[in-house]
Copies of this chain bind each other. A is one copy, B any other.
Amino acid sequence: MNSRQMVLATFIHNSGAHPGGWRYGADADQHDVDHYVRLAKTAERGKLHCYFSGDQQGLPMIKGRDAYAATDYAGKLEPTTLLAALAMVTSDIGLIGTVSTTYNEPYAVARRMASLDHITKGRAGWNVVTSAGNSEARNFGHDRLMDHDLRYERAEEFVDVVKALWDSWEDDAVLRDKASARYFDPARLRQLNHKGRFFNVAGPLNVGRPPQGHPVIVQAGGSGPGRALSARTADLVFTAQSSKDKAVAFYDDMKARAAAFGRNPAHMAVLPSVQLLVRSTEAEARAAQEELLHLIPDALAWATLQMQIGFDLSDYGPDDKMPDIPLTNGGQWVQQELVRMARAEDLTLGQLAKRATVSRASFSMAGTPEQVADMMEDWFRAGAADGFSLSPNYLPGGLEDFVDQVVPILQKRGLFRTEYQGDTLRDNLGIPRPAHAQMGHEPDLWA
């Protein structure tokens, strides 16, 4: 028996992680909450730690009208509302929502995530993203995306303010003592009075301390500033890694960075993202992969590559090799990984386009249940991962296959638990509840 077991999350993105997924699987209505209810219940049946809702605050830019029409980007329900709904039809699984630090205010996010933590009774998580597309910027009054490193500087301050707001109230501040007319103990309410480079926020929050102290923090930046933010603030680190060796290097780097911030590295789980496809036989798995690929129009793959590398390929064709391109202002890790991959494997741009579209820079685990379990075990034992963020190629079928066929194997091998261990997401992750950080300011609300 292992004492250390995998952390498993499922990353739910549109109708599946594979752009051909919506044409491959059963018809799924992304505007219907029942689609997500089914997924969350399936994940909970599989005892997964968390259901993770990706998000963007706008439609991306994808060249070509027909290519665009083939994407399932329409119908992205907003995560905090969606997860609050899912809270009512689940009881154990963690519910993680993506909220951007670039287009929000910390008070509003602190409040919404605290509410979600109360509504879920301690099962909420916040995936902190800095947002990487120009089209999102245009929905929030900007002509173009804020500079990459500036976005992370803003994110650093943002997360600190949010955490401090969650500590506005001490844990036992609410008394509801009718006899003494004290709804709360004013000595246990603190004011932030934050004045920073990006934000001025007085506080206090008007919601009591979240059940988990702080909802679980998730981060997936892969650039230098992205890793620094994760290492300092995140409980879970999601990452796109295209090979086990790279994943080991990333894992070691992140654990060392966490230690350098004075944290216990065991309290920060690193979860590489996995493109998932499970079939009864290897031949069927290969055939399914072929079919899925076939369902993506070439123009869509070509356009998606350009979006992911943040570079206009109008002067190039699918038989060309990757040119030298400048560092993008968007997502830097994915861009650099794709460039490295093209060079290392001597891919044409056409080949890279298919690869990028299918899996971005993450690893694809396709095969029989045993094979998928083997790959997961291999990464886990090799120190490449504390667990995985599973991206089923199509939904809901791809998640159901994993839960029904792979989870039992992992459980049998002692690699994955058979029951939820605690009441909150932190309990289930084995990550401690943060102590309340006492701030100096008595509120001036009653002055």
Contacts and interface: CB of A to CB of B under 8 A. Distances in A.
Interface of A: 22-23, 27, 29, 31-33, 56-78, 80-82, 84-85, 87-89, 103-105, 107-108, 111-112, 114-116, 118-119, 121, 135, 138-142, 169, 173-174, 176, 178, 181-186, 189, 199-204, 206-208, 295, 297, 443-447
Given A33-B118, A59-B445, A72-B183, 18 more contacts: A23-B178, A27-B178, A57-B111, A57-B206, A58-B107, A58-B202, A60-B445, A61-B445, A63-B447, A75-B206, A76-B207, A77-B115, A80-B84, A81-B112, A85-B85, A103-B107, A107-B139, A135-B445
A395 to B, nearest CB: 13
A165 to B, nearest CB: 9
A130 to B, nearest CB: 16
B82 A80 contact: no
Contact of A70 (B62, B72, B183): B183
17 contacts: A23-B181, A31-B174, A32-B118, A33-B88, A33-B118, A33-B121, A56-B206, A58-B206, A61-B446, A68-B446, A70-B183, A74-B173, A74-B208, A78-B207, A108-B140, A138-B200, A141-B200
A222 to B, nearest CB: 24
B84 A206 contact: no
Given A82-B119, A118-B77, A119-B85, A65 B31 contact: no
A78 B64 CA distance: 40
A31 B208 contact: yes
Q: How many copies does the complex hold?
A: 2
Contacts of A73: 183, 206
Contacts of A103: 105, 107-108
B68 A445 contact: yes
Nearest to A137: B202
A112 B78 contact: yes
Nearest to A116: B81
Contact of A115 (B60, B61, B81): B81
Given A60-B445, A139-B107, A445-B59, A207 B75 contact: yes
A70 B206 contact: no
A234 B144 CA distance: 34
Contacts of A443: 59
A119 B33 contact: yes
B69 A199 contact: no
Q: Which of A33, A81, A199 has the most CB of B within 10 A?
A: A81
B78 A111 contact: yes
Contacts of A22: 176, 178, 183
A69 B105 CA distance: 28
